[in-house]
Amino acid sequence: MLTERASGILLHPTSFPTRFGIGDLGPRAHEFLDWLDAAGQRYWQVLPLCPADPGGSPYQSASSFAGHPLLVSPEFLMEDGLLTDSDLAEAALPEIEFAPRVDFGLAADRKRKLLEIAAQRFRELPSSHFLHDALHTFVEEHRDWLEPHAQFMAASEANHGISWRDWTITAQPMPPAIPPQLSTRFASHLVFQFFFFRQWQRLRDRARQLGIHIIGDIPIYVSHDSADVWANRSLFQLDERGVSTRVAGVPPDYFAATGQLWMNPLYDWDAMERDGFGWWIRRLKASLQLVDLVRLDHFRGFEAYWSVPAGETTAMNGEWVPGPRDKLLQALRDGVAAHAQPVPEPGDSLPPL
């Protein structure tokens, strides 16, 4: 795909101006695609689209597979008959439509109320409604990551957001098991993801019509407090209590005298290899269902990664450990469509592909 000279723009959907305090996948996103086309641009690069942490960072996400519910457009939910003009007017914040920064706390409060209203109205639709059929198809297609994500989110809410290691109300990821008290929230999170993916597909279809390619972004690591780790503990460097034994970071350099301590749990690459790197194959496939090309963040970490003992306050006492290298890359080549094209992070010191 990257065979001809072309240009594009990097812009995350949260940057679009809306009445709800945060950009989304609605009318302004479609206007942006039209503007790209008129300007002769052929690429739109986005940062991660997964749920962000309370501070707005997608690099400590509750799921590396899920979409961020705050990116769901209330206007398009209204088109589906799930919200009304008065719902939108009550949640709108026109005075911050063009604010220079997103107030994630304020935006989350307004958007989540709308999402809950829409999810409740969705449940009240007749079983014969076409949206129920569309939801069923969506769940069947994405079940491998979707159900663990919805389980994790429902249990996390029931336990007031504390670490999954300390949950008193819990769920079982494999095979899936949901306590009755979590069933409604579980269903809501399935619907939130359905809203996101339905709207994103609409946006991507428009991009394809215009000949605009979307470049996605995959962070190399995931958050400890995530469905990824909770449902796949054997694939990470954890002890028997689920505590990280080693954590991610980068060593000291000109920009950070003590290095960068990211605190993400490290992968158990031996366990990943025994599983045929299945989790990574599924992750890349899921991303390529949303975008045309994928940027692999911190690509250098696949060749060798900085491993820091858990409990350190800086990254200074870490060490370089060999990564999966060509074994992972070959598994991704074999397991993902041949036309898939990873885009390494600029500035990384890369091994030959």
Residue 27: both structure tokens together: 């009318």
pLDDT of 123 higher than 50: yes
pLDDT of 36 higher than 70: yes
- Which range, 19-33, 100-114, 325-339, has the best average confidence (pLDDT)? 19-33
Nearest alpha carbon to residue 111 among 99, 119, 100: 119
Average pLDDT over all residues of the chain = 93
On whether the CB atoms of residues 209 and 216 are closer than 8 A, the answer is: no
Nearest alpha carbon to residue 135 among 90, 197, 182, 224: 197
* Whole-number Å distance between alpha carbons of 331 and 302: 13
The predicted model gives 13-27 an average pLDDT of 95
Residue 324: both structure tokens together: 């999966």
The predicted model gives 195-220 an average pLDDT of 98
The predicted model gives 49-67 an average pLDDT of 92
pLDDT, position 347: 54
Q: Which residues pair with 344 in a beta bridge?
A: 296
The predicted model gives 130-152 an average pLDDT of 97
Bigger pLDDT: 93 vs 260: 260
Q: Would you kindly state where each structural domain of the chain is located, as residue ranges?
A: 8-222, 232-353
pLDDT of 350 higher than 50: no
pLDDT, position 191: 99
- Locus of tokens 């306050």: 313
Residue 271: both structure tokens together: 């366990």
175: Cβ contacts below 8 Å, ≥ 6 apart: none
Strand-pair category, 213-218 with 8-10? unpaired
pLDDT, position 177: 78
Angstrom CA distances, 42 to 38, 251, 341, stand at 10, 37, 16
148: Cβ contacts below 8 Å, ≥ 6 apart: 173, 174, 176, 227, 230, 231
Bigger pLDDT: 97 vs 329: 329
Q: Confidence band (pLDDT; 50, 70, 90) for 100? A: confident
On whether the CB atoms of residues 294 and 218 are closer than 8 A, the answer is: yes
Bigger pLDDT: 54 vs 242: 242
Pairs from 29-38 (Cβ < 8 Å, separation ≥ 24): 29/73, 29/203, 30/203, 30/206, 33/203, 33/206, 33/207, 33/210, 33/212, 34/210, 36/8, 36/9, 36/210, 36/212, 37/210, 37/211, 37/212
Bigger pLDDT: 5 vs 97: 5
pLDDT of 225 higher than 80: yes
CATH entry 3.30.365.10 includes domain 8-222? no
Q: Confidence band (pLDDT; 50, 70, 90) for 349? A: very low
pLDDT of 351 higher than 60: no
112: Cβ contacts below 8 Å, ≥ 6 apart: 69, 70
On whether the CB atoms of residues 266 and 236 are closer than 8 A, the answer is: yes
Q: Write out pLDDT tens, residues 337-348.
A: 654 666 666 555
Which helix (H) or strand (E) segment holds residue 165: the answer is none
The predicted model gives 90-97 an average pLDDT of 87
Bigger pLDDT: 297 vs 94: 297
pLDDT, position 353: 38
Q: Write out pLDDT tens, residues 179-199.
A: 899 999 999 999 999 999 999
* Whole-number Å distance between alpha carbons of 217 and 297: 7
Q: The pTM is what?
A: 0.93
pLDDT, position 95: 84
pLDDT, position 189: 98
The predicted model gives 46-57 an average pLDDT of 91
